[in-house]
């Protein structure tokens, strides 16, 4: 779309700019401050340069948390995207009460507070009172105790994550599908196209825009995940489900180690920034491309 150049538009953006600057820029500067100083008490502090950064970058715990985080976010995308698209394809094509009901039910997990998500899964997975936990432990006969077995803790967190967020991917993909005009399907039918061909050459290209948003949102949000796994496993057993945010809160609030936490925050933020930039560019291309 053709846009006019007019710097007075800044006046319209100013409230947002001031609000976000107040909320994000001042705190960020505080973090930068902490990351280069050793704070003894409110009046005594020493400049330590890049010491905290050096120590954090060489910290095994940080490197492990980072690795864990990438594995987690990668798995999230690998599982949730195909599953979400599959569910969207199953949903009723036409509107009507069945489509409305399906959408309301699918959207339900998205509106549950994140700590309650954790609580739901604690109640569901506990071997003594949980339906699934009891089923696996007693009926299947597999010893199930997710708070003490790292692999089971991982499977539990993944299960909760897939349950929680696949609906978002499904709804996004469904929105993309609904926007395809009927004429496309009719043309495909006349040409005798197979179901796979319709998916590959009509549905998938038309979903490109919404799926880019889905990848962006799912990657970023899973990269920042804190509350749900914290309630379910507390980051344990040991450090096995300690993702970046959980580790950072442990450092900053738990141990009040603001120097290390500050350096960690900046490193964390820079990684997020780099990924945001890549995704933003991808989104811009989709936005100006044929999909729009």
Partner 1 sequence: MKTGWRATVLAAYLALLLLPIYWMLNMSLRENSDIMSQLAFLPLHPTLQNYAQIFTDRAWYSGYLNSLAYVSINTVISLAVALPAAYAFSRYRFLGDKHLFFWLLTNRMAPAAVFLLPVFQLYTALGLIDSYIAVALAHTIFNVPLAVWILEGFMSGVPREIDETAFIDGYSLPRFFVAVFLPLIRAGVGVTAFFCFMFSWVELLFARTLTITEAKPIAAVMTRTVSASGLDWGLLAAAGMLTIVPGALVIYFVRNYIAKGFALGRV
Q: Which stretch binds partner 1 (CB under 8 A): 60-68, 141-149, 170-178, 181-189?
A: 170-178
Q: Which stretch binds partner 1 (CB under 8 A): 50-58, 116-124, 146-154, 186-194?
A: 116-124
CB of 189 to partner 1, least distance (A): 14
Q: Which stretch binds partner 1 (CB under 8 A): 40-48, 141-149, 181-189, 263-271?
A: 263-271
Contact between 120 and partner 1 per CB under 8 A: yes
CB of 223 to partner 1, least distance (A): 8
Q: CA 72, CA 67: separation in Å to the nearest integer?
A: 9
Q: Report how many residues bind partner 1 under the rule CB under 8 A.
A: 92
Give residues with Cβ within 8 angstroms of 163, minimum separation 6.
Answer: 109, 121
CB of 25 to partner 1, least distance (A): 9
Q: Which stretch binds partner 1 (CB under 8 A): 53-61, 113-121, 186-194, 232-240?
A: 113-121
Cis ω on the peptide bond leading into residue 237 (within 30° of 0)?
A: yes
Indicate which single residue of 215, 232, 244, 263 sits in contact with partner 1 (rule: CB under 8 A): 244
CB of 86 to partner 1, least distance (A): 9
Give φ, ψ of 244 to 5 degrees.
-55, -50
Residues 136-165 that bind partner 1 (CB under 8 A): 163
Burial class (CB in 10 A: 0-12, 13-18, 19+), 283: middle
Q: Please name every residue paired with 38 in a beta bridge, in sequence order, or none if there are none.
A: 46
Contact between 287 and partner 1 per CB under 8 A: yes
- 102 CB neighbour count, 10 Å cutoff: 16
Residues 19-78 that bind partner 1 (CB under 8 A): 19-20, 23-24, 26-28, 30-31
Contact between 215 and partner 1 per CB under 8 A: no
Burial class (CB in 10 A: 0-12, 13-18, 19+), 45: middle
- The answer to whether the CB of 201 falls within 8 A of the CB of 184 is no
Q: CA 190, CA 193: separation in Å to the nearest integer?
A: 8
Whose Cβ is closer to partner 1: residue 30's or residue 148's? 30
> Which residue shows structure tokens 């809160």?
249
Indicate which single residue of 59, 64, 227, 240 sits in contact with partner 1 (rule: CB under 8 A): 227
Give residues with Cβ within 8 angstroms of 186, minimum separation 6.
Answer: none
Contact between 100 and partner 1 per CB under 8 A: yes
């Amino acid at each position: 779309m053709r846009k006019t150049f007019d710097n007075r538009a800044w006046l319209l953006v100013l409230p947002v700019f001031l609000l976000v600057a107040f909320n994000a820029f001042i705190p960020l500067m505080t973090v930068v401050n902490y990351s280069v100083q050793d704070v003894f008490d409110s009046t005594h502090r020493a400049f330590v340069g890049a010491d905290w950064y050096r120590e954090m970058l060489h910290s095994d715990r940080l490197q492990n948390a980072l690795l864990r985080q990438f594995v987690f976010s990668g798995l999230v995308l690998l599982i949730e995207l195909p599953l979400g698209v599959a569910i969207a394809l199953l949903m009723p094509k036409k509107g009507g009460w069945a489509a409305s009901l399906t959408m309301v039910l699918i959207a339900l997990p998205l509106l549950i507070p994140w700590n309650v998500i954790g609580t739901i899964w604690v109640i569901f997975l506990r071997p003594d009172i949980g339906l699934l936990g009891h089923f696996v432990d007693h009926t299947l006969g597999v010893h199930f105790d997710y708070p003490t077995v790292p692999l089971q803790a991982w499977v539990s967190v993944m299960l909760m994550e897939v349950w929680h967020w696949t609906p978002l991917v499904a709804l996004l993909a469904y929105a993309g599908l609904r926007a395809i005009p009927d004429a496309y399907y009719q043309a495909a039918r006349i040409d005798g196209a197979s179901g796979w061909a319709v998916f590959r050459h009509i549905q998938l290209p038309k979903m490109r825009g919404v799926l880019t948003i889905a990848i962006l949102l799912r990657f970023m949000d899973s990269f920042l995940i804190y509350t749900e796994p914290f309630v379910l496993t507390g980051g344990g057993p040991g450090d096995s489900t300690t993702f970046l945010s959980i580790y950072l809160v442990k450092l900053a609030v738990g141990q009040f180690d603001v120097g290390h936490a500050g350096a960690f925050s900046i490193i964390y933020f820079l990684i997020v920034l780099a990924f945001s930039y890549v995704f933003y560019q991808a989104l811009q291309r989709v936005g100006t491309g044929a999909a729009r």
